[in-house]
Amino acid sequence: MANLDKKNVRYNILTIIVYIIGIIMIGQLFNLQIVHGEEYLEKSNSRLTRENTIKAARGNIKDCNGNILAGTSIRYSLEIYKSKIDESVLNSTILKIVNILEKNGDEYNNEFPIDTVTMQYKYSDKEKIIEFLKENNLKENFTAEQTIDFYINKYNLQEYSKEEAIKIISIRYGITKNGYSSMKGYEISQNISEESIAEIEEKSQEFPGVTIDYIPIREYKYGSLLSHVLGYVGKINSEEYNNNIGYDLNDYIGKTGIEYVCEKFLKGTDGLKQTDMSVDGTITGEYITEKAIQGNDVILTIDTKVQQATEESLKNNIETINEGGYGEARTVNAGCAVVLNVKTGEVIALCSYPDFEPQLFVDGISTEKWNEYTAENTRALLNRTIQTAYAPGSIFKMIPAIAGLETNAITIDEQINCTGIYSKGYQPRCWYYSTYGRGHGYLTVSQAIQKSCNCYFYEVGTRIGIETIEEYATYFGLGQKTDIELPGEISGTLAGKKLYEKLGETWYYGNTLSAVIGQAENNFTPIQMAKYIAMLTNGGKQIDITLIKDIVSSDGTSLDKTEIDLYIKNRLGLNNEKKEDLNIKEENLEAILEGMRAVTTETGGTAYSVFRDFEIEVGGKTGTAEAGENTNAWFVGFAPYSDPEIAVVVFIENGEHGSYSARITRDIMEAYFGLNEEVSEDKTAQPLI
């Protein structure tokens, strides 16, 4: 009985509580709907809130010294949103805006196909005019004047002059075509000047529905410098949009180069901004609800100082060859160069000529410029260091030399006689015989490299066979991708039996004689040649070629290298196959490098005239290789000779003489070692008055 009484008491208390809550709610509803109903209704009808995306800045791309190569500039976009204003106010607002933009030299979006000055159709193609008229339900025989009159009536612009009316039509036509609302604006201009911003903001009450937003835009700080490494960004296309989560149709995305490879890391995280405004479009407040986070910074191994010297020298020397500055003028359109750290495989400089302006691609390159870049004699978008393979010629000869020494087919001190005509096979001739009518005589391996004697290497090739040549060429990375972090790298081809088996052809002894001096099907990329030279000078050790030193978040923390490597490997489809070191004998490598030293330091060396007075001892090798009607020019080098730091490869299409490429190498080395820097002897000296 006592338990029943307790239950009744609880029930009664709960009933009273529910009753009290009900009375409070009814009172609140009465207060909202009856007492203050009109007040709250007026407020709700006079306020609008929209949420806008704050675009995040793209991460910087920097060189190894922290110099920004690709950064961000701010562009100001002018938009108009739909608001509760009548048509006459909308028209006058648009005219004021257009007049301000024109006064300050700012361009604005004008999709109306009639010129605002001539008042004639912009199209010379009559079919395009008819297409426009059909799309807008106008008569196919409408003149430009009739079309203008139609839109004057449609948009109620009778009070304006024709000049004023067509300005208004240019914007209203775009609004009609693309649509706009209180939440989605129509972009009048995507890049307005500070003068226009100041005037519009000063008179903001006169421009209902008009807002100014900032947009971070990619900016390439050094123009065309490193264009083939950096690549470029552009507006995302439909395929990219469908394949990438977290983008909208107005986003920019990396298209080529590091911009493409590191897209995941460079893209920032967009923020959100809340904008409060009255129904007539006047902004009453703005609040950031989520901050935009800038993308990660990608730090390259590139040294801008060396890169600048490389590009400048390559360009200047090609122009000199074209003008006949070194003798008879030749038609030279292209070349490239690579500079590597021989111990780490880091790329210090990498350039391909001709280059291009990445900035031109940001908002869409013009047809005229695109045609210039893609012309057959230009192909400026082609990265010749990794996307084109060339016959190496004599710079290949260190491969059979090291293979012969390591297999004991030849020795360091053995002398082989060059009579000028090799007596075996199809009896090929040495270049020296073709020039001077005699042979080099007896040569050691070092002397054979210095003098680039063909007959010496014909004999080496005969002794070791093509399989051994293939083995050592493969070890040094020839005919294989280096897996540099750039898209589009090709493998090239290594001449030999493996290639012929794939082609279903038979390899003959005569093919070996051609291949051993860097001919036959041997075609390698300049980046492969740079890796090969770096390995010769670092003790024969394997290295990984790399452009990316670090990736750093906005808070200064380095990203996990394993994550970076895995992403890039998957993005580029890299193999990353590791080879075991062959443990090449030091004395054999020294014999090879001694021959390369003699090329630059001893009379008779093919690059002696270029390096004879150079402050640092250099090892090198010139090379020429015929390619159809052209004779291409190579130079490969390293320095300092006693303790190598860098390997340099320079290639000039149709350059004819390897010594021309050697001149560029010298300029590069001067920049790397600081030999071209002018230093004041007396830093305390006072300026003259």
Q: How far, in Å, CA of 102 to CA of 195, rounded?
A: 11
Same structural domain for residues 294 and 354?
Answer: no
Sign for the pseudo-dihedral over CA of 114, 115, 117, 119: negative
pLDDT one-digit tens code per residue, 77-108 = 999 988 888 999 999 999 999 999 999 999 99
pLDDT one-digit tens code per residue, 448-460 = 999 999 999 999 9
Give yes or no for residue 659 having a pLDDT over 50. yes
pLDDT one-digit tens code per residue, 175-216 = 999 998 888 889 999 899 999 999 999 988 889 889 898 889
CATH of the domain at 62: 3.90.1310.10
Strand, helix or coil for residue 79: strand
In which band, very low, low, confident or very high, does the pLDDT at 275 lie, cut at 50, 70 and 90?
confident
How large a percentage of the chain has pLDDT more than 70?
90
pLDDT given at position 45: 45
The answer to whether residue 373 is domain-embedded is yes
Q: How far, in Å, CA of 10 to CA of 20, rounded?
A: 16
pLDDT given at position 395: 97
pTM for the predicted model, two decimal places: 0.85
Give the mean pLDDT of 274-278. Answer: 77
Q: How far, in Å, CA of 106 to CA of 100, rounded?
A: 8
The answer to whether residue 176 is domain-embedded is yes
pLDDT given at position 679: 41
In which band, very low, low, confident or very high, does the pLDDT at 59 lie, cut at 50, 70 and 90?
very high
Pairing of strands 630-639, 68-80: unpaired
The answer to whether residue 98 is domain-embedded is yes
Task: Dig out the tokens for 648 from the structure.
Answer: 């340099």
The answer to whether residue 688 is domain-embedded is no
pLDDT given at position 523: 97
pLDDT given at position 680: 37
Same structural domain for residues 134 and 241?
Answer: no
- The answer for 437, left when phi > 0, alpha when psi is -120 to 50, beta otherwise, is left
Same structural domain for residues 135 and 191?
Answer: yes
Same structural domain for residues 360 and 379?
Answer: yes
Higher pLDDT, 679 or 509: 509
Strand, helix or coil for residue 250: coil
Give the mean pLDDT of 418-436. Answer: 94
The answer to whether residue 550 is domain-embedded is no
pLDDT given at position 485: 97
Instruction: Give the DSSP H/E element, type plus range, for residue 288.
Output: strand 283-290
Same structural domain for residues 412 and 383?
Answer: yes
How large a percentage of the chain has pLDDT more than 90?
74
Least confident of 195-204, 403-412, 443-452: 195-204
Is residue 470 within 8 Å of residue 498, measured between CB atoms?
yes
pLDDT one-digit tens code per residue, 581-597 = 899 999 999 999 999 99
Domain end position, chosen among 183, 207, 231: 207
Give yes or no for residue 1 having a pLDDT over 70. no
Tally of domains in the chain: 4
The answer to whether residue 31 is domain-embedded is yes
pLDDT given at position 24: 57
Calculate the CA 359 to chain-centre distance.
Answer: 10
Same structural domain for residues 258 and 174?
Answer: no
Domain end position, chosen among 174, 207, 240: 207
The boundaries of the domain holding residue 497 are 304-542+579-672
Would you list the DSSP string of 366-403? -HHHHHHHH-TTT-TT--TTTS--B--GGGGTHHHHHH
Number of C-beta neighbours around residue 680 at 10 A = 7
pLDDT one-digit tens code per residue, 128-159 = 999 999 999 999 999 999 999 999 999 999 99
Same structural domain for residues 59 and 171?
Answer: no
Give the mean pLDDT of 508-516. Answer: 97
The answer to whether residue 551 is domain-embedded is no
Give yes or no for residue 286 having a pLDDT over 80. no
pLDDT given at position 681: 39
Give yes or no for residue 506 having a pLDDT over 80. yes
Give yes or no for residue 65 having a pLDDT over 70. yes
Q: How far, in Å, CA of 644 to CA of 648, rounded?
A: 11
The answer to whether residue 433 is domain-embedded is yes
Domain end position, chosen among 161, 183, 207: 207
Same structural domain for residues 563 and 456?
Answer: no
State the chain's mean pLDDT as an integer: 90
Same structural domain for residues 326 and 475?
Answer: yes
Give yes or no for residue 17 having a pLDDT over 80. no
CATH of the domain at 487: 3.40.710.10
Same structural domain for residues 398 and 472?
Answer: yes
Give the mean pLDDT of 243-254. Answer: 89
pLDDT given at position 359: 97
Same structural domain for residues 398 and 421?
Answer: yes
Same structural domain for residues 112 and 57?
Answer: no
- The answer for 22, left when phi > 0, alpha when psi is -120 to 50, beta otherwise, is alpha
